């Protein structure tokens, strides 16, 4: 959510930020609505003052026996009272218009975010690992002999429809091991607080984390009004909604492993093979709530946390800084980590690490009290995948594939797999 006061003070800068995202200028329209709102409030205050003044004179006129003045003043009080009510209602209408419009405007990009239209204009900032050089034709994850029988799309489709999968046996265990490895690393090495969070949330939580009103079609809503979380960013971030935190308690760093649900409304026909793009998936999320002065450094820290997981797993990746045209609605700056997938012969996103500045904090009124006792300020919020479990499974399987259809698994997973390091072509661990 943008600050209308900042828009009034620097309308050109606001419109310039919108232009960087490819959007039309909106400052004039916003300022006009805000001026109408403020005008109604001022008029209501003036009418209230006149009502109060007349009210004080009514008694005096009655006491003086001036019946005509008494009736005039009483009528004036009633008139002003009605005017105050009408003007306040008009102000509420204008305020609602303003709030709704502000809620649909994307965050302003940070100054270092490159201009661009789509993913082709993203800026590569890091390349890690050696892409495997197989002496055979690489297969996609679902084509591997040791995987095919345990990655059941047909049964999942019978139960739930397209874009679902049923993992079985060793593949299900590897998937679970990856999630456990990620959570343990974040808790034991990265000093994040593990949270077991709800996956059903109210409108307020979705709105506060900028998923509503603009992206309601991308999520699932239950018949009684709850939303299935698109990511645990929603409950983790909204956990500080309405709070005034002590500065000494910042930063707050959290992680959660949850199911996530997305309708994929805008991705018809994309990634229909395999489990790359599903309606239901699992993700380990990282969320930080920070002092504004620390948010840029915190984003780099979170990015390093996510990258370290892929490095421990031996999965080659590249990190890109998203351009203005590819960046998410609420983000001020986003780094994507893309894992190498031999079966597709390309890098694919496995994590996004974003800072929203105070964009979400304004929507959910999350603030902190400075140590010096000054006025409460909005916190900054950040979120990042650490990592998408299903996509990480794909990367591990494809990069570890052998010519016979077996898979060499990362050594760091052995403690979670009973010491086993290979998924055989027969689908069994050894």
Q: Which of 150, 219, 295, 352 is catalytic?
A: 352
Helix intervals (H) in 161-277: 169-188, 203-208, 233-238
State both tokens at 285. 């999320």
Helix 295-313 × helix 389-399 angle, to 10°: 40
Q: Which of 20, 163, 262, 301 is catalytic?
A: 262
State both tokens at 191. 């000093």
262 in catalytic set: yes
Peptide bond into 54 cis (omega under 30): no
Residues 215 and 328: beta-carbon distance below 8 Å: no
Residues 6+ away with beta carbon under 8 Å from 294: 250, 251, 380
Which H helix or E strand runs over 398?
Answer: helix 389-399
The gap from C-alpha 229 to its chain's centroid, in whole angstroms, comes to 10
318 in catalytic set: no
20 in catalytic set: no
Q: Which of 69, 194, 204, 349 is catalytic?
A: 349
Q: Which of 150, 232, 391, 406 is catalytic?
A: 391
DSSP strand pairing (367-369 vs 346-355): unpaired
Residues 233 and 383: beta-carbon distance below 8 Å: yes
State both tokens at 73. 């003043």
264 Ramachandran zone, left/alpha/beta (phi>0; psi -120 to 50)? left
DSSP annotation string for 133-191? --SS----GGGSHHHHTTEEHHHHHHHH-SS--EE-HHHHHHHHHHHHHHHHHHHHTS-
Q: Which of 277, 318, 348, 362 is catalytic?
A: 277
253 in catalytic set: no
222 Ramachandran zone, left/alpha/beta (phi>0; psi -120 to 50)? beta
DSSP strand pairing (193-194 vs 252-261): parallel
Q: CA–CA distance from 121 to each of 338, 347, 414 (Å)?
A: 15, 15, 39
d(CA 89, CA 403): 72
Bridge partners, 287 (sequence order): 254, 383
d(CA 362, CA 387): 27
204 in catalytic set: no
Q: Which residues are catalytic?
A: 262, 277, 349, 352, 391
């Amino acid at each position: 959510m943008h600050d209308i006061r900042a828009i009034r003070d620097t309308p050109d800068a606001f419109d310039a930020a919108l232009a960087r995202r490819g959007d039309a200028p909106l400052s004039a329209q916003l300022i006009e609505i805000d001026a109408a709102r403020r005008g109604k409030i001022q008029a209501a205050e003036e009418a209230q003052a006149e009502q109060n003044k007349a009210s004080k004179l009514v008694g005096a006129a009655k006491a003086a026996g001036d019946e005509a003045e008494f009736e005039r003043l009483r009528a004036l009080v009633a008139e002003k009272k009605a005017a105050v009510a009408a003007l306040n209602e008009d102000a509420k209408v204008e305020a609602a218009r303003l709030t709704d419009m502000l809620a649909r405007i994307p965050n302003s990009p940070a100054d270092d975010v490159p201009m661009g239209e789509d993913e082709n204009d993203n800026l590569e900032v890091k390349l890690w690992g050696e892409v495997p050089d197989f002496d055979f034709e690489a297969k996609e994850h679902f084509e591997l002999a040791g995987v095919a029988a345990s990655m059941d799309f047909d049964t999942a489709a019978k139960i739930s429809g397209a874009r679902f999968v049923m993992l079985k046996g060793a593949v299900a265990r590897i998937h679970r091991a990856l999630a456990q490895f990620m959570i343990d690393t974040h808790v034991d090495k990265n000093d994040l607080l593990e949270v077991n969070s709800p996956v059903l949330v109210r409108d307020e939580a979705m709105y506060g984390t900028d998923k509503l009103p603009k992206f309601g079609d991308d999520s699932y809503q239950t018949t009684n009004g709850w939303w299935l979380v698109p990511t645990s960013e929603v409950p983790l971030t909204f956990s500080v909604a309405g709070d005034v935190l002590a500065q000494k308690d910042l930063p707050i760093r959290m992680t959660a492993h949850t199911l996530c649900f997305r309708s994929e409304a805008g991705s018809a026909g994309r990634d229909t093979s395999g489990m790359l793009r599903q309606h239901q998936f699992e993700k380990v999320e990282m969320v930080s709530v920070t002092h504004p002065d620390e948010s840029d450094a915190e984003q780099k820290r979170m990015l390093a946390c996510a990258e370290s997981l892929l490095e421990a797993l031996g999965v080659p990746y590249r990190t890109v800084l998203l351009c203005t045209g590819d960046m998410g609605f609420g983000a001020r700056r986003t780094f994507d980590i893309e894992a190498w997938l031999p079966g597709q012969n390309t890098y694919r996103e496995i994590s996004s690490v974003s800072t929203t500045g105070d964009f979400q904090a304004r929507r959910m009124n999350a603030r902190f009290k400075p140590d010096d006792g000054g006025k409460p300020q909005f916190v900054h919020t950040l979120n990042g995948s650490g990592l998408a479990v299903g996509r990480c499974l794909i990367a591990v399987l494809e990069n570890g594939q052998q010519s016979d259809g077996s898979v060499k698994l990362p050594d760091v997973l052995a403690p979670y797999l009973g010491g086993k390091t290979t998924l055989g072509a027969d689908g069994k661990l050894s």
